[in-house]
A and B are shown apart, each in its own frame.
Chain A
């Protein structure tokens, strides 16, 4: 090859080599630009994506607050129990492990089969698995002695929600149960992670379902913490990276009174009914009892199906909270309100007297409304009408009432309204109006309806809670505080003043005198309870008829069916003359108000006052 040709060839090679190497360098630059855009421009996105890959966040449960009565005695506490927890990833042979542990811990067939089912899955992802809940002291002792044999298991403390008085505070405290729909409380933890929550309670993620547990659930539960695990691509937990502690729930200081609630339960016995008592200074609800009740301990900590079904099927309806939801005709206990209405509207005055022949005849139709006593009470004025509970007097008063005004008057006294500030599922019961009757029954309001209202029968119904609230208005002469379960400080208190220009201080003291006479005088309908106590008590009893009858004889027939017997009702407050507590008692099918409901009210007042 001649020199020139070699030079041409060499130049040709050089230019082509330069071209190819330039392309290569271009390729490397393209790679660098792409890496730059990933690592520098897109850094925050990709860093987040990498964290999302590996970080597995689970919620960490916090201890719920405890609940106390007004004297600081515990109503619901967190009681530690002990569970046996295993680390399935360290258990290589499940059969020999179970054989080894069986002499130490009693295991039922269902427990072992459940364990076998979940073992493999938990082992793979390095998660823990509960083998046995609520170990006995013996089991704990046996395990602790042999714990060196079981590197793959340990005992952990798990709490239970326990009340020392589970059967008397059932409705007011309420129960907790496992919740599967609490995901929204920490939005950054995905739904699927909640099954791996770190638990403090043996029953998992619990939530208040009824009563105070529900009403104050947020305050009681505190806040979840978070634990972040490092997770690998196969979903195995590698290590715990961080723990953000939650916030323990705050304790709840209630106005409830253990001793008073106990006497309400004791004296109501196994009869159906309800007792509500209110502290007049603070509006605190000291007693809120409904009978029959059920055990919140069992319900909160896993009641078996059969037991639960028995409660549901019980004809006495133990789950029904009679104190807040029972709708009862107030019967004669409404008479003070009717009297107040008559006085303030100048229909009657304290001196007005009329003859009570034992019945009232409606002028328009000639329909006869009977009193409870044949032959009547002779001449009655307002005071005597209260004492002897004259129906005729109040029939005739109501006859002169304007029904719309009277309905409003009753509403202002709390009837037909929710009156408790923090009660669970309170019913507002009912005050009838002509509009209501027209729309519901397609019939016009007649005078007879108003007359019936005058003795608390007919369409008017009230809850024991409303009756207690009404009693507290009467007791405080209108200067009452809205009732609430939780002590001041936890909840804004509202001091309400009931006002009626036509009803002044002298009316109030006469009213108190009259209601005092119902129990303390020789003529009072509730005088039978006069000697049960050392202090003086004012009140009004009532007997709510479930069947409207014209004669005593007919009632004797009705009595044979227990469920048709009259309800016995009383409202009372004391000690007079400066009352501190008001109470209402309803006993279903208890018959005569003063004699049946009266003693329960007195016992509750006694335990409140003598403290």
Chain B
């Protein structure tokens, strides 16, 4: 019998730090939702399910993910198509697909499928990567980005693009190409502004650069978020005592702006603790990536953990006023099953890639 059958693939560092993070998340969410018990219970179910799924996903050999990566991408795109055809429209956007009693945000799967697919496509290519491989990869990335962008869901689309670009970059994209495309991006920015962005997205960016232009309208959210965080001070106002949160001056406290709740009620020290936990998780992923058994695993761990990091940074920068407002939850803390489950799957894959070691032929 093979030894691996007796072994459970498990990374204690990641497991406990994620456990700490999601427990704190439930605790924060309770205050952010004005003590909505039923919401918390639902979230508890998601968290427990998430941990179980993470452990299950950690078990298969990385090769299985590699071999099924194409199918996975097609499945994810199919779900996206179903969403487009049958998904209900909520707040002017089609993002959800119903699977029996559950609804699921189909774009979440692409966050996983795109980096794994590209890692599989690129891991055995010779360095430096050839032009046609780059073009193929960019095409995949752009298509997935575009489908999600049209839902419209700019935040997730950006994250999906990031996830693919990270893998492309890590697999050895030449610097001259990177430089070239950067120049191209700047040149085409007026086109992006005028054609691709929806009016409300344009307005968000405009108010970001001039927040006093409309304090009760478009910039209300960001002003109130800054007031919430700023008034927290060093130690915060105390759990459940944040006036900005509890009196509803702060918008979207359960989702995008939950970090402001933490800032208001727990102050700078609370923020420091939270960011330390995130940093620890990222450093652990970094270590796993460097010590992974092969190029494919390295690329997948790198791609997924950097995607997670990008998700985190965009949310944080948005709520503290360093970036325009884009819909982006705070990972492991914000309300919502889809993003939470896809995060747990991602970390399950990271653990699988990071803990399976190649056995030398005996």
Binding site for B on A (CB under 8 A): 1, 5-6, 8-10, 12-14, 16-17, 20-21, 24-25, 27-28, 30-32, 34-36, 38-40, 42-43, 45-47, 49-51, 53-54, 230-234, 238
Do the beta carbons of B313 and A47 come within 8 Å of each other? no
Task: Give the complex CA separation of A25 and B124 in angstroms.
Answer: 30
Task: Give the complex CA separation of A20 and B227 in angstroms.
Answer: 32
Do the beta carbons of A231 and B247 come within 8 Å of each other? yes
Q: Look across to chain B and name the residue whose beta carbon is closest to the beta carbon of A14.
A: B290
Cβ–Cβ < 8 Å partners of A32 in chain B: 271-272, 275
Task: Give the complex CA separation of A228 and B340 in angstroms.
Answer: 42
Complex A-B: 16 CB contacts under 8 Å: A5-B127, A12-B172, A20-B170, A24-B282, A31-B275, A31-B316, A31-B320, A32-B275, A34-B320, A39-B229, A39-B233, A46-B231, A47-B230, A47-B231, A49-B227, A54-B247
Do the beta carbons of A46 and B313 come within 8 Å of each other? no
Do the beta carbons of A230 and B243 come within 8 Å of each other? yes
Do the beta carbons of A8 and B306 come within 8 Å of each other? no
Do the beta carbons of B290 and A46 come within 8 Å of each other? no
Q: A34-B322, A35-B263, A54-B247 are in contact. List 17 more A-B contacts (CB 8 A).
A: A6-B295, A9-B295, A10-B295, A16-B172, A20-B302, A21-B283, A31-B313, A31-B316, A39-B232, A39-B234, A43-B233, A50-B228, A50-B230, A50-B249, A53-B243, A230-B247, A232-B248
How far apart are B173's CB and chain A's nearest CB, in angstroms? 9
Given the interface contacts A17-B286, A53-B244, does A27 sit within 8 Å of B320 by beta carbon? no
Do the beta carbons of A39 and B267 come within 8 Å of each other? yes
Do the beta carbons of A46 and B278 come within 8 Å of each other? no
Task: Give the complex CA separation of A32 and B316 in angstroms.
Answer: 9
Cβ–Cβ < 8 Å partners of B95 in chain A: none
How far apart are A51's CB and chain B's nearest CB, in angstroms? 8
Q: Is B298 an interface residue (CB 8 A)?
A: yes
- Give the contacting residue for A35; candidates B166, B224, B320; CB below 8 A: B320
How far apart are A563's CB and chain B's nearest CB, in angstroms? 65
Given the interface contacts A28-B313, A35-B268, does A13 sit within 8 Å of B302 by beta carbon? yes
Interface size on B, residues (CB 8 A): 48
Do the beta carbons of A53 and B229 come within 8 Å of each other? no
Do the beta carbons of A39 and B230 come within 8 Å of each other? yes
- Give the contacting residue for A31; candidates B295, B306, B317; CB below 8 A: B317
- Give the contacting residue for A17; candidates B289, B310, B321; CB below 8 A: B289
How far apart are A195's CB and chain B's nearest CB, in angstroms? 21
Q: Look across to chain A and name the residue whose beta carbon is closest to the beta carbon of B223.
A: A49
Cβ–Cβ < 8 Å partners of B243 in chain A: 50-51, 53-54, 230
Given the interface contacts A25-B279, A30-B322, A232-B248, does A35 sit within 8 Å of B231 by beta carbon? no
Do the beta carbons of B172 and A46 come within 8 Å of each other? no
How far apart are B267's CB and chain A's nearest CB, in angstroms? 6
- Give the contacting residue for B268; candidates A5, A10, A36, A233; CB below 8 A: A36
Interface string of B292-305 (1 = CB under 8 A from A): 00010011001000
Q: Is B169 an interface residue (CB 8 A)?
A: yes
Cβ–Cβ < 8 Å partners of A238 in chain B: 247
Q: Which of B217-258 contact A (CB under 8 A)?
A: 224, 226-234, 243-244, 247-249
Cβ–Cβ < 8 Å partners of B138 in chain A: none
How far apart are B359's CB and chain A's nearest CB, in angstroms? 17
Do the beta carbons of B317 and A30 come within 8 Å of each other? yes
Task: Give the complex CA separation of A263 and B247 in angstroms.
Answer: 64
Task: Give the complex CA separation of A6 and B172 in angstroms.
Answer: 13
Task: Give the complex CA separation of A8 and B126 in angstroms.
Answer: 11
How far apart are A225's CB and chain B's nearest CB, in angstroms? 23
Cβ–Cβ < 8 Å partners of A30 in chain B: 317, 322
Cβ–Cβ < 8 Å partners of B224 in chain A: 53
Q: Which of B305-362 contact A (CB under 8 A)?
A: 306, 309-310, 313, 316-317, 320-322
How far apart are A586's CB and chain B's nearest CB, in angstroms? 64
Task: Give the complex CA separation of A14 and B302 in angstroms.
Answer: 10
Task: Give the complex CA separation of A8 and B317 in angstroms.
Answer: 36
How far apart are B83's CB and chain A's nearest CB, in angstroms? 31
Do the beta carbons of B231 and A49 come within 8 Å of each other? yes
| Closest A-B pairs by Cβ, 6 of them | A46-B230, A50-B231, A232-B247, A38-B230, A233-B248, A27-B313
How far apart are A21's CB and chain B's nearest CB, in angstroms? 5
Cβ–Cβ < 8 Å partners of B316 in chain A: 27-28, 31
How far apart are B18's CB and chain A's nearest CB, in angstroms? 18
Cβ–Cβ < 8 Å partners of A10 in chain B: 295, 298
Do the beta carbons of B309 and A31 come within 8 Å of each other? no
Do the beta carbons of B247 and A47 come within 8 Å of each other? no
How far apart are B257's CB and chain A's nearest CB, in angstroms? 13
Cβ–Cβ < 8 Å partners of A233 in chain B: 247-249
Task: Give the complex CA separation of A589 and B271 in angstroms.
Answer: 89
Cβ–Cβ < 8 Å partners of A13 in chain B: 170-172, 295, 298-299, 302
- Give the contacting residue for A20; candidates B169, B233, B268; CB below 8 A: B169
Cβ–Cβ < 8 Å partners of A27 in chain B: 309, 313, 316-317
Q: Look across to chain A and name the residue whose beta carbon is closest to the beta carbon of B309.
A: A24
How far apart are A513's CB and chain B's nearest CB, in angstroms? 83
Task: Give the complex CA separation of A20 and B303 in angstroms.
Answer: 10
Task: Give the complex CA separation of A234 and B283 in angstroms.
Answer: 43
Q: Look across to chain A and name the residue whose beta carbon is closest to the beta carbon of B268.
A: A39
